[in-house]
Amino acid sequence: MNKIWLIRHGECHSNTGVKNTSPATSTLTEKGVRQSECVASSIDIQPDRIIHSPFIRSLQSAQPTINRFPAATVEQWPVQEFIYLPYEKYRGTTRADRKAAVDAYWQQCDPQQKNSAEAESFVEFIDRMETISEKLKRCKGSVIIFTHGHVIRAMMWKIMIGRLAKDKNAMLRYRSLRHALYIPNAVILKINLDEPVFQMSQLITSHLKPELRT
């Protein structure tokens, strides 16, 4: 159960209501830094790989673990957040400012909808998750991945249902999962993608001090 650890990034400024310039550039708050240090201290395996997404908050979250395990291979993979709004919607806006656009996207629930060149459609997101899953199956040893909420949620969904669908009905089910399943900052999910039965742990926050849990 500890072959692959998925870890959501620590709290970042966009999580706290600060205005964005880009979905990729939000940095960790002081609390997020402390959360990431707690994650690094709690890891009780020697990771062979430490993977982070291209987003700054993911690399910052990974850094204490990278420092603690210098022998591990460090790689950047496309395990970034599912960004479905145009990047222009993030410039100078808060999460509250974007809520109407987010709600409209999920209300329409069109898996082919692609709002800009930088954004993903739901179909593209699911294809990316399947590609990542297949790549992880080929990894040897222990892997620590610093990633984002939608990625963790999608991987949990895959473990529950098998191969991910990407039609409208599937998107409607994922929309329900999005509302029902909260992924806290700095949470750990341990998964095993070995056939024939995938496995996963509960969402783990016990490594965080009470004041650092979100």
Question: CATH code at 77?
Answer: 3.40.50.1240
- Whether the per-residue pLDDT at 209 is higher than 60: the answer is yes
- Dump pLDDT digits (tens) for 43-86: 999 999 999 999 999 999 999 999 999 999 999 999 999 999 99
Position 164 confidence tier, pLDDT thresholds 50, 70, 90: confident
Position 162 confidence tier, pLDDT thresholds 50, 70, 90: confident
47/59 Cα distance (integer angstroms): 16
Q: Is the pLDDT higher at 2 or at 57?
A: 57
- Dump pLDDT digits (tens) for 166-202: 999 999 999 999 999 999 999 999 998 887 778 899 9
% of the chain with per-residue pLDDT over 90: 83
Position 102 confidence tier, pLDDT thresholds 50, 70, 90: very high
Residue 2: predicted pLDDT: 57
- Whether the per-residue pLDDT at 30 is higher than 60: the answer is yes
**What does the DSSP 8-state code read for residue 12?**
B
In this prediction the pTM is 0.95
Segment 10-34 shows an average pLDDT of 93
Mean pLDDT of the chain: 93
Give residues with Cβ within 8 angstroms of 153, minimum separation 6: 174, 177, 178, 181, 183
Residue 131: predicted pLDDT: 95
Number of domains comprising the chain? 1
Position 8 confidence tier, pLDDT thresholds 50, 70, 90: very high
Q: Name residue 6's beta-bridge partners.
A: 145, 189
Nearest C-alpha neighbor of 149 from the set 123, 105, 179, 116: 179
- Dump pLDDT digits (tens) for 125-141: 999 999 999 999 889 89
164/150 Cα distance (integer angstroms): 14
Residue 74 in 3-state DSSP? strand
Residue span of the structural domain in which 142 resides: 4-212
